[in-house]
Amino acid sequence: MKAIRPRLRKVRILATLGPASSNADMIRDLYLAGADAFRLNMSHGSHEDHAANVAHIRALEKEYGRPTTILADLQGPKLRVGTFRDGSVELKVGATFVLDRDDTPGDVHRVALPHPEIHAALLPETRLLLDDGKIVLRVKSCGDGRIETRVEVGGTLSNRKGVNVPDVVVPMAALTEKDRRDLGFALTLGVDWVALSFVQRPEDLAEARRLMGGYGALMAKIEKPSAVQRLEEILEVADGVMVARGDLGVELPPEAVPPLQKHIVASARKLGRPVVVATQMLESMIKAPTPTRAEVSDVATAVYDGADAIMLSAETAAGDWPREAVAMMDSIARSVEGDPGYLDRLHFTETKPDATTADALAEASNSITRTANASAIVCFTSSGSTVRRVARERPTAPILALTPRADTARKMGLLWGVHAVRTKDIGSFEEMIGKARRMALRHKAAVAGDKIIVLAGVPFGTPGSTNVLHVATIRGDELKGRDE
């Protein structure tokens, strides 16, 4: 097993795999450049491609001895118009344009919209956004499989372009048949997180949760205005959320997205749900070896806001500079986290503890860390719930999460400030303190003479029983013990 220094960077980096990065050597390069987790985009690639990537990641995990997180991102429903007789049409502002259920190739007057759910949901004066919002239609009337619209923003519309419906909740399940097949396959691969697209309401998560059967963690992608309106409810039932700014930026005015991003990040942090900021973070690095200054500021803003993870999409999946994109994101994050005012900015968001012993101890660990200048917080955990509570506080010290369960260690790879280690369980208080000291030294989270905070639950190995907080001092002879 190769030794690799633990990353003390707090924010996690999630890298998407694709044609530019679907081989063992490139995945290793991305990992060594700073990728903490990998995303499988189920919208692209075959099941065989994804299985090969998972095998590469798990081999890398074994090689370096560090639990590595894999997220499978489901495609969700894709709403599209039909085809045109000449391949495309030019829609003029003010013209009438009809969308119907007739599969006959369209023209400048009409085209098929083969989604009965949209026909059922629309009302007069609601909008339809076509081709990523480049064309805007306003509904004049609808009924009997026919939607008559007025063109508000015109342009060229070609075959099978996408349709967004921002003003209403579309009565459509978040999971398609393809998604169900992909989800079942992803679970057989042992992925750690599943991201669900097209979430409009908390109920949309129920089927995916049932199909997952208690395995893995479920992330809701916030990409529709209807999801934003019910954000608190969605956060209550999801294990984490992703700010999917691509679709949000289509269905909402561009200037509305930055404050929404801050709102989603702050809301997720208050409930202790990991939050990923995604889409176009270093977009220019798809083709260029360096980002724009605006992109650097965008990434930095997400880090300052306290996002748990920041994501690269096409930059690593299909770009010309995948390893450079990861290295740049890592460099930006480290620079922000080195800012003396970074932690003060993080705590602009107040995270009030629930009236539980575990929450009280998590809050206390943050306070004691500051007062006693502790070098690390060591959490013994079975389910990961204690670690999530501690990470929510955004403490000054790194969080070393010790767990006997591989699945728990991997799921924690999207949590802010957490370095997860799989190790044997403990059976006594003395063993707990000794192991905490040794692991803090071994993983470079502390040196001899440092203080560490230790959190655990008694009886040991019982999920959700955190009730012990202990301050320990590292001795110089701690590494004589062995841990696996």
Q: What is the pLDDT of residues 396-423, one digit of tens each?
A: 999 999 999 999 999 999 999 999 999 9
Q: Is 262 helix (H, G, I), strand (E, B) or coil?
A: helix
Query: pLDDT at position 261, please?
Result: 96
Q: Residue 482: pLDDT above 60?
A: no
To 10 degrees, the CA torsion angle through 59, 62, 63, 65? 150
Percent of the chain with pLDDT over 70: 96
184 exposure class (CB count in 10 Å sphere: 0-12, 13-18, 19+): exposed
Q: Which residues are CB-contacts of 407 (< 8 A; sequence separation ≥ 6)?
A: 192, 215, 216
Q: How far apart are CA 114 and CA 111, in angstroms?
A: 10
**pLDDT given at position 475:** 84
pLDDT (average), residues 320-325: 98
Cα(12)–Cα(251) distance, integer angstroms: 28
Reported as a single tens digit per residue, the pLDDT across 148-195 is 999 999 999 999 999 999 999 999 999 999 999 999 999 999 999 999
Active-site annotation holds for 279: yes
**Mean confidence (pLDDT) of the chain:** 93
CA 171-175-179 angle, to 5 degrees, is 155
Question: pLDDT digit string (tens) for 156-165?
Answer: 999 999 999 9
How many Å is the Cα radius of gyration of the chain?
Answer: 24
Q: How far is CA 182 from CA 7, 75, 104, 179, 460, in A?
A: 32, 9, 31, 5, 37
**How many CA atoms lie less than 13 Å away from 349 in the CB half-sphere?**
22
Over range 247-258, report the average pLDDT: 92
The reported pLDDT for the residue numbered 1 is 59
DSSP string, 268-310: HHHTT--EEEESSTTGGGGTSSS--HHHHHHHHHHHHTT-SEE
Band of pLDDT at residue 2, cut at 50, 70 and 90: low
Helices 24-33 + 47-64 axis angle, to 10: 50
The arrangement of strands across the sheet holding 466-473 comes to 418-422, 399-403, 376-380, 451-457, 466-473
Question: What's residue 100's pLDDT?
Answer: 97
Q: Which of 120-134, 256-270, 339-353, 463-477 has the lowest mean pLDDT?
A: 463-477
The two tokens of residue 172 are 């459509």
Structural contact between residues 275 and 239, judged by C-beta atoms closer than 8 angstroms: no
Quote the pLDDT of residue 59: 96
Catalytic residue among 9, 28, 221, 262: 221
pLDDT of amino acid 323: 98
Which of left, alpha, beta for 206 (phi over 0: left; psi -120 to 50: alpha)? alpha
Residue 183 near residue 74, CB atoms below 8 Å? yes
pLDDT tier at 224, thresholds 50, 70, 90: very high
End-to-end CA distance of the chain: 12
Q: Are 138 and 125 in contact (CB under 8 A)?
A: yes
Per the CB < 8 A criterion, the answer to whether 192 and 407 are in contact is yes
- Domains of the chain in start order, with CATH, are 12-76+174-339 (3.20.20.60), 88-164 (2.40.33.10), 357-480 (3.40.1380.20)
Nearest one of 86, 84, 89, 117 to 102, comparing CA atoms: 84
CA distance 403 to 394: 20
Query: Residue 3 pLDDT more than 60?
Result: no
Residue 481 has pLDDT above 60, yes or no: no
- 469, β-bridge pairs: 455
Over the stretch 276-295, which tens digit does the pLDDT of each residue have? 999 999 999 999 999 999 99
Tokens 């001092």 -> residue? 473
Mean pLDDT along residues 102-128: 95
The answer to whether residue 478 scores a pLDDT higher than 70 is no
Would residue 39 show up in a list of annotated catalytic residues for this protein?
A: yes
Phi, psi angle pair for 282, to nearest 5°? -130, 50
Confidence tier at 457 by pLDDT (50, 70, 90): confident
Cα→Cα distances 271→54, 65, 268, Å: 31, 31, 5
**Catalytic hit among 80, 270, 334, 475:** 80
Nearest to 257 by CA among 283, 225, 235: 225
Six token digits for residue 446: 């502390």
Catalytic one among 16, 68, 279, 466?
Answer: 279
Report yes or no: 205 and 231 within 8 Å, Cβ to Cβ: no
* Spatial separation of the C-alpha atoms in residues 454 and 365, rounded to whole Å: 8
* Whole-number pLDDT of residue 348: 82
pTM of the shown model: 0.93
Q: Half-sphere exposure (CA, 13 Å, Cβ side) for 218?
A: 23
Q: Which of 39, 66, 110, 269 is catalytic?
A: 39
- Mean predicted confidence (pLDDT) in 38-63: 96
CA distances from 434 to 43, 90, 120, 166, 483 (A): 47, 73, 64, 56, 10
Q: Report how far residue 15's alpha carbon sits from residue 39's, in angstroms, rounded to the nearest whole number.
A: 6
- In Å, what is the CA distance from 289 to each residue of 104, 314, 407, 410? 46, 14, 36, 31
Nearest Cα neighbor of 130 from 104, 107, 97, 105 is 97
Q: How confident is the model at residue 17 (pLDDT cuts 50, 70, 90)?
A: very high
Band the pLDDT of 392: cuts 50, 70, 90. Answer: very high
